Amino acid sequence: MKPMDNYVYNSNNTLQKKTVSQTITNFIDDKYANERLGWKWDEILVPCVEDSTFDQIHRSSKVSLSILLRHDDFHFVRARHQIPDNAIFLLDERGRLYFSHRNLVSSNGRPATPFVSLRDITVDVTGRADLEDDLRLLARIAASSGGWIVSGDEISVGQWLRFNGLQVPTNEQETRDLLDLLNFSTLPEPPKYGNYWQLLDAPDTSPFKLEGNNRAIILDLKQSFTMYSEAIVNVLGRSVLIESGPSDGATTSMDYRLQQLLESTASRHGQDYLSRLGWLNEAAATQQSTELAEQLAVAAILLDLDPALDIANTHFAGFDLYARRYFKQHPSQVRTELEAHLIKHLHVAPPFAPLVAQMILAGMAPEYLFADWPSSLRMGTPAWVIATQAVHLVEALAPGASRKMTYQHLMGFSQSTKSLAPLAALQAEGSVDPVVTWAWMNGVITRDAQGDLSAKEIERAMREYDQYIDMTLKAAECFSTPLPDRRQLALQELKSQERHCDPDELLVKHRGSGGGAGRKVSVLDLYMGDELHTQDWDRIKGTSIYKSFPNLPYLYPVTELYESATNSHFESVLEGLARNIQIAISQVLPEDTASLQYGAIGIYCVQNMNYKPARVTGRYGFSPATYVPGETGRYGVILCVKHGYAVKCFELFPLRMECRYNPNLEAFFKPLITGNGYPLDTRFADKKKFELIPVDLQAYLQNVPPKTGVLSRVHVRRIGVLEAPADHSDRDNQIPFYRSSRMETLGRLVARQNPYITEKEIHQLGLQQTAREKAIEKTDAIFNIILNLIIPFKGCVEGLTSGDPKKHGGAIFDCIVDAAVLAMTIFAAPVAIAAAASKAAAIAGKLLSASRVLAKTALSLFNPLSGLPQLLKAGGKLIGRGLTKLSGHTLSLAHQAKQQLRFLTGANSYDLIKAIEHTGSATQLRTSLDTVAHARALFKNDLIEDAHQVLQKLHANDAKRLSKIPESELAHLLEKTLGDIARQSDAAQSLKKVLDPQVVESLIRQQAKKYTLANLHQFSNHNTLPELFETTLTIEYKNLQFMHNHQRTLLTTDLGKAPFDSLLDEMKFNPAGLTDNTDRAAAWIVHASSSRNDVDRVKDLLLEFSRNNKPLNDPAVYAELHKRIAPKDAGGLRSPTGEARYPSNVSGAALLEQHAKALDPAGEHFSRQMLGAMLGYHSFVDGNGRTARAVYAIAELRKNRFHPLGKAAEDALSGLN
């Protein structure tokens, strides 16, 4: 598929994901590579995309590993193993060190797969103290980058998967599932207003919740600018130029017209609403008044029409969004009828009805707004359940995003993300409502007198849907049994009795009659020809084969084996057909079910009419031209039903699982029914010719979709009768109509009387005769029957067999809408087609299986702890889009799922309108407490004693306890907890030996803000994140120690000698030949900078500071200089890193200040000492090089000189190389 753009996505992350996906695709399509490497994803390499999220984490550890590899002691290891310079080194999270050459494997011109062959050299560094310490430190860092650190420009596929929280596949199927996930896991950017219900569906703890008095205030305000009972949207819309008809410009799209309406309303009335609601005094409101006002406009419009609206309801202002009348209707019908309801009953002006309908449905039933549903999709079917579940999943993650997805992307996202645990769990809980709706539309469940659904009825809905899907899948299983193969049966029997016998060994005839002299025949062919038991055939010479294999003459006759197998297969086909017929009948409209259940049914097959020309018979006889019955349609029958005095006719197509009422047939079949009026005395005529009857003959003959408005010349023949039941007073209402014993009988009767393939034909297809040519004509005729089964899935099969990946992906999802139509009985089709059909059937089967919901999942939503009653009130949904109101667990799952997607797609957030913060005063009170007190109040647990226990609670992610806690509060608690743990670490104590405790505290506090809840939940052990934090502080300590020692050494070193005196070639930075030292210094600074600088501005700074004689080793002076030469540096924290030798800017600033005080500005080498210290300590987030060179240049200019130092001198002074 064409990847969808993820909003706020990191393009580097997307590129990295594509690179991994392509590498996996190349590997899995290369059988030789599969055999060579197996599924060792830690050894398969993929390019690392620079500046991707993974690269940012992995880069510093990779640099640290390269520093270790340059250690003097490691030179001996290299020499011992003759390790080349281009070797790849890998370190795992256990501290094991490996090296390898970069290898390639490919076959048949396919793209090569790079891989490593690991050689363990850990033992070579054991006992070397410095190296062992560094390995242990790097091993801890490896845990944060997928378990490995890899040198060079490549990483392993396995580590990238672990880094993103994905399961590392162990076989081909898991790998293909992973590819689906990588291809479909990105969500598009939601529309501006998402689902329009951010205020109407605000959390209970939000200060902006529109309940009770707030709703009354909004309704009262309507009176200030409307008259009488006119809908408020009509008044608001008049002042906005909104076109009601379609046009060719994007400016008149639905979203744009709604945006114009809401922005206009917010600008004219927003302040009045905010003031009356008291929200202008809220601290948050001052920053988000525009967003609040626009969301209030939505609320005002919808509350005016339905003051009691709720996102968890199934009704809006008297309109039932899930009425039974929508059974078998296309989803677009609901929106059409809702717009008509708004116009007729709520007096919304026609131009605004589509806009209002969009706002209503976006929150309450977003599945009706999806624009890319296939035309054949119908509500009340399993395909609709699957589709609705997919929409609900997307809307739970990113409200409004489903409206911008294609059908293929929607279904791909829904199914592929099941491999992510949080998403799978979220989808399971969000799948309940579609199943309940299915049960309601299909008449499986009932409401009580008040319209409520009990928990028992919900449980029944889950159970009945499960049984319905089970019946569908079992039907597919019946059809999927391979065609019996006589040769394979013979081979299996032969091997079971004499497993060492070669079935292809050739024998010659030694005795007996019947010819065959000199002809050589294989053992297997003789067994199939029923000649092996005669022992007339044997080896040309040597030991008799019957002595070598004494059981050969007594093998069970192949004919009997094959007869039994073909009979079993035929019965399996009949069972599948019978189930298909029951499923097809389940789709009959409720008003037609009574006739099928209680009436007499005549079953008629349909035959085409062949023209027979006039001819002379005998001497004087003459036979006129006429039409005679011909081929019988194998793929459909007509059910003629007499119930009371009414006659109804249905066209039944078992393989298409379709049963449709055809009222136009009643006039034709009524004359075929006779009787005295009693149900048990109904009789149906045997046969009848019809000249022009309203049926599509090709649907019966070729299994194509039946067309309407077609007239055909046919002959109908009665093949069975199902009499009306004598008494139906004992009808079990707990059993759905389609599963009743009567419908089971009907299904078996139709299947046996009109199968699409006969037992004899199955016998012929699998005969595998030795002289097969004799049966070619017969077999090809039967084969054409089988090929007709492919026709309904033509697009699917063509796509899956095309070899084009784009068509391949689309073809799979072209078949999803027919997920219930699993009758892909293509066992005799060519291999490629059979494989394609099998794959499509498997996908459809997975979809149906995945749509099932465990009863315990549904009943868990009735948990009284979540505030749910034991009755689902009339018009209510269990989840729908009201999940934040109904299930704390579901809310937590949604949060986890969003975090998982952020890792995988690079999205910064899937939250809508981040400006609106639903934070209350209780949160503000708790956040003012210390860590343990905060946690005790939050978790309501006085047994919490220390920060480690707090972290454990946060990691456990207790859904019920955290469901209503703002994410910002949890993030704040995590910061405090990590900070408390870090302060007690050995690394923090070590830092205090070289830094003031206040500096250490500042560093820990700022570094703790870098970690998120997503980082905590990324690891299975809650201790991993604080361990990584401590590792970061350990790296900081090592860098500080190194830099402190290096800079102290410079104080007693002659910096006028090599390597500190190397100069930059004048022509490189001063091609114009400037002679003034200030001009030369400014040019030198600008040349060395990686940022754009105005040379005149730099020159002015040099002149100013070289004349003012301010002490350059004063922190205030060089801080001022930095601010002016690097004005874009926003400050903040540059975290400690193993990527370079310099420390964080917090620690660096503290040690630079301390070190600079010891320098003498009058000293000969003061300028070089300051340059080395400022570069080495790196005390600013950005602009360190510019500031250091400016200080150096000013110190030189004050002595009326300027020596442009080169890169070698800078590196030697700073110690960074």
Other C-beta atoms lying within 10 Å of the C-beta of residue 1119: 15
Q: Give pLDDT tens digits for 135-185.
A: 888 888 888 888 999 999 999 999 999 988 788 999 888 888 888 888 887
Q: What is the pLDDT of residue 187?
A: 83
Helix (H) and strand (E) counts in the chain = 52, 25
What distance lies between CA 1189 and its chain's CA centroid?
51
Instruction: Decide if pLDDT at 545 tops 60.
Output: yes
Residue 843 banded pLDDT, cuts 50, 70, 90: low
Highest mean pLDDT among 61-70, 93-102, 468-477: 93-102
Contact call for residues 1050 and 1036 (beta carbons, < 8 A): no
Q: List, in order, residues 6 or more apart from 570 with CB less than 8 Å away.
A: 755, 758, 759, 762
CB 1176 within 8 A of CB 1047: yes
Q: Tell me how far the alpha carbon of residue 1071 is from its chain's centroid.
A: 57
- For strands 646-653 and 658-661, give the pairing: antiparallel
**Which of 821, 580, 575 minimizes the C-alpha distance to 704?**
821
Q: Which two tokens stand for residue 554?
A: 């007594």
pLDDT range class, residue 246, cuts 50, 70, 90: very low
Confidence at residue 254, expressed as pLDDT on a 0 to 100 scale: 82
Q: What is each CA distance from 126 to 73, 91, 96, 348, in whole angstroms?
A: 11, 14, 10, 81
Kindly report the three-state secondary structure assignment for every residue of 374-414. Answer: CCCCCCCCHHHHHHHHHHHHHHHHCCCHHHHCCHHHHHHHH
- What is the per-residue DSSP string for 1137-1181? -SSSSS--HHHHHHHHHHHHTT--TTSTTHHHHHHHHHHHH--SS
1059: preceding bond cis by omega (within 30 degrees): yes
DSSP state letters, 681-696: G-EE-SEEEEEEESS-
- How far apart CA 44 and CA 477 sit, in angstroms, is 38
Q: Which of 21-30, 217-226, 476-485 has the highest mean pLDDT?
A: 21-30
**What would the pLDDT profile of 1020-1075 be if each residue is shown by its tens digit?**
788 888 988 998 899 899 989 999 999 999 999 999 999 999 999 999 898 888 99
Q: Which of 429, 443, 310 is nearest to 859 (CA)?
A: 429
Environment class of 572 (CB within 10 Å of its CB; exposed 0-12, middle 13-18, buried 19+): middle
Domain limits of the chain? 11-184, 213-452+878-904, 591-728, 919-1011, 1053-1214
Mean pLDDT of 959-971: 72
Average pLDDT of the segment spanning 528-549: 92
> By percentage, how much of the chain surpasses pLDDT 70?
80
| Mean local confidence (pLDDT), 1116-1124 | 92
Strand order in the sheet with 88-92: 119-120, 97-100, 88-92, 148-150
The first and second tokens of residue 344, run together, are: 């007729």
Give the mean pLDDT of 1201-1207. 94
CB 1017 within 8 A of CB 893: no
- Cα–Cα dist 596/582, whole Å: 12
Report the DSSP beta bridge partners of residue 91.
Answer: 97, 149
**Which residue in the block uniquely carries the two structure tokens 């026609």?**
350
CA-CA distance, 151 to 102, in Å (whole number)?
11
Q: Are strands 687-693 and 102-105 parallel, antiparallel or unpaired?
A: unpaired
Averaging pLDDT over each range in 56-65, 804-813, 869-878, 1182-1191, which range is the top one? 1182-1191
Tokens of 835: 């494989």
Spatial distance between the Cα atoms of 917 and 847, rounded to a whole number of angstroms: 38
CATH (residue range 1053-1214):
1.10.3290.10
d(C-alpha 85, C-alpha 138), whole Å: 21
Contact 814, 796 (CB under 8 A): yes
d(CA 787, CA 776) in angstroms, rounded, equals: 16
98, 118 contact by CB (below 8 A): yes
Q: Is 870 helix (H, G, I), strand (E, B) or coil?
A: coil
Helix (H, G, I), strand (E, B), or coil: what is residue 723? coil
The 10s digit of each residue's pLDDT in 336-378 is 999 999 999 999 999 999 999 999 999 999 999 999 998 888 8
Closest CA to 988 of 1031, 936, 1045: 1031
Q: Does 251 score more than 70 pLDDT?
A: no
Q: Which two tokens stand for residue 895?
A: 């949060």
Top mean pLDDT of 168-182, 463-477, 559-573 is at 559-573
First to last CA, the chain: 47
Distances (CA, A) of 26 to 23, 114, 316: 5, 11, 52
970-1007 pLDDT tens trace: 888 999 999 999 999 999 999 999 999 999 999 999 99
Tell me the C-alpha distance between 1076 and 1106, whole Å.
Answer: 14
Q: Which of 196-200, 389-393, 696-700, 779-783 reaches the highest mean pLDDT?
A: 696-700
Number of other residues whose CB lies within 10 A of the CB of residue 942: 9
Query: HSE (CB half, 13 Å, CA atoms) of 726?
Result: 0
Cα separation, 89 vs 65, in Å, equals 9
Query: What is the rounded distance in angstroms from the CA atom of residue 791 to the CA atom of residue 427?
Result: 34
Label the pairing between strands 683-684 and 687-693: unpaired
Interval 489-520: pLDDT, tens: 999 999 999 999 999 999 999 876 555 556 88
Q: What is the DSSP letter of 261?
A: H
Compute the distance between CA of residue 759 and CA of residue 568 in angstroms, rounded to an integer.
9
Q: List pLDDT tens digits, range 865-911.
A: 333 334 444 455 554 333 333 334 444 555 555 555 655 554 433 33
Q: What is the pLDDT of residue 780?
A: 52
In tens, the pLDDT along 1074-1101 reads 999 999 999 999 988 766 667 888 999 9
Q: 878, 874, 888: which is closest to 853 by C-alpha? A: 878
Contact partners, residue 488, CB within 8 Å, separation at least 6 = 768
Please give the average per-residue pLDDT across 741-756, as a whole number.
Answer: 94
Give the count of beta carbons closer than 10 Å to the beta carbon of residue 1167. Answer: 25
CA distances from 1076 to 248, 1072, 1095, 1188, 1202 (A): 65, 12, 14, 21, 10
